[in-house]
């Protein structure tokens, strides 16, 4: 066969199923390790075959999302230690206005579809942008609410932000991870992503429970009830923040690694049967 050398893989591309390095293997054959047709490892949606600039943009956006839980933890420490109610209200208003805008921008960046994006990626993007927009709409009226009634802010704003924020965390974490895992067929990572989303969901449920029990001060509750659900609230917030942080750090690390190991699709031989 005269064109045989041109069909041999001459780059370090791992098999999409078993990660076996396919250098030196005939592109028309199967993976020597798991027998998957080589053509499947040439899927243009793979992160390893993606545009390096797109991978870089996505790694930066994903890293930036990690700043959100860090900022939340820092704010919460101030919130817990500060006795001044006015300071707490200003802080809540600043967070309520700024953070949804940050979430909106990051959600749009982190789910930015590449040139091969399918319908699912596009739908995912609109869900992420929609969740961010809903948060902006709910929270951008915060200064008005503060001016109207500090009691109303303490009663409604914080729980609304907490519930919407938690839902955005769950939707965003799930979308970003399922997209990354699907592109590289990472089953173990997909399971980890699932665990992280369940942790976030658990946290959000605890937040909701604490809200119902009056931990935010909306409904009057006995002191011991408020104390128990205040603890529930702390655990719930920690679970949501921690799950976001773990997922963000792992996803950013994976994107940086993929960028380092990226393969130029033009360097791959054809998988079409020869003449
Ligand atoms: Zn394989």
Residue 27 Cα to ligand 1 middle (Å): 13
pLDDT of the residue at 4? 47
Residue 17 Cα to ligand 1 middle (Å): 5
pLDDT in tens, the chain (275 residues): 444 455 899 999 999 988 899 999 999 999 999 999 999 999 888 889 988 888 888 888 888 777 777 776 776 666 666 555 455 555 555 565 556 666 666 666 666 666 566 666 667 667 767 766 766 666 666 566 666 666 655 556 666 666 666 676 677 777 777 778 888 887 776 677 777 777 777 887 777 777 766 665 555 556 777 677 777 777 777 787 788 788 888 888 888 999 999 999 888 888 776 55
pLDDT of the residue at 99? 63
Global pTM reads 0.70
Residue 23 Cα to ligand 1 middle (Å): 12
Residue 37 Cα to ligand 1 middle (Å): 8
Residue 229 Cα to ligand 1 middle (Å): 50
Residue 166 Cα to ligand 1 middle (Å): 38
Residue 95 Cα to ligand 1 middle (Å): 48
Residue 11 Cα to ligand 1 middle (Å): 15
pLDDT of the residue at 130? 75
Q: Give the position of tokens 């953070």.
A: 99
pLDDT of the residue at 184? 84
Residue 205 Cα to ligand 1 middle (Å): 41
Residue 259 Cα to ligand 1 middle (Å): 21
Residue 35 Cα to ligand 1 middle (Å): 6
Residue 31 Cα to ligand 1 middle (Å): 5
pLDDT of the residue at 229? 72
pLDDT of the residue at 150? 60
pLDDT of the residue at 201? 77
Residue 112 Cα to ligand 1 middle (Å): 29
Residue 186 Cα to ligand 1 middle (Å): 13
Residue 162 Cα to ligand 1 middle (Å): 44
Residue 47 Cα to ligand 1 middle (Å): 17
């Amino acid at each position: 066969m005269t064109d045989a050398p041109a069909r041999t893989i001459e780059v370090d591309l791992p098999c999409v199923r078993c990660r076996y390095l396919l250098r030196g293997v005939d592109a028309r054959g199967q993976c020597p390790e798991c027998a998957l047709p080589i053509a499947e490892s040439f899927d243009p949606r793979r992160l390893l075959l993606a545009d390096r600039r797109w991978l870089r943009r996505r790694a930066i956006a994903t890293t930036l999302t990690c700043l959100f839980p860090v900022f939340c933890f820092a704010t919460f420490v101030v919130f817990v230690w500060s006795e001044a109610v006015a300071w707490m209200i200003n802080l809540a208003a600043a967070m309520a206005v700024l953070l949804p805008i940050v979430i909106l921008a990051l959600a749009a960046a982190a789910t930015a579809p590449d040139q091969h994006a399918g319908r699912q990626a596009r739908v995912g993007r609109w869900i992420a942008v929609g969740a961010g927009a809903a948060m902006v709409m709910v929270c951008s009226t915060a200064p008005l609410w503060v001016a109207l009634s500090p009691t109303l802010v303490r009663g409604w704003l914080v729980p609304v932000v907490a519930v919407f924020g938690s839902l955005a965390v769950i939707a965003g974490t799930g979308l970003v991870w399922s997209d990354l895992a699907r592109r590289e067929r990472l089953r173990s990572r997909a399971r980890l992503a699932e665990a992280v989303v369940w942790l976030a969901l658990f946290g959000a449920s605890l937040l909701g429970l604490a809200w119902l029990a009056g931990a935010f001060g909306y409904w009057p509750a006995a002191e011991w009830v408020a104390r128990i659900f205040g603890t529930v609230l702390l655990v719930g917030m920690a679970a949501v923040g921690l799950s976001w942080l773990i997922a963000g750090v792992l996803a950013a690390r994976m994107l940086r690694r993929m960028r380092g190991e990226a393969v130029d699709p033009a360097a791959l031989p054809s998988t079409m049967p020869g003449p």
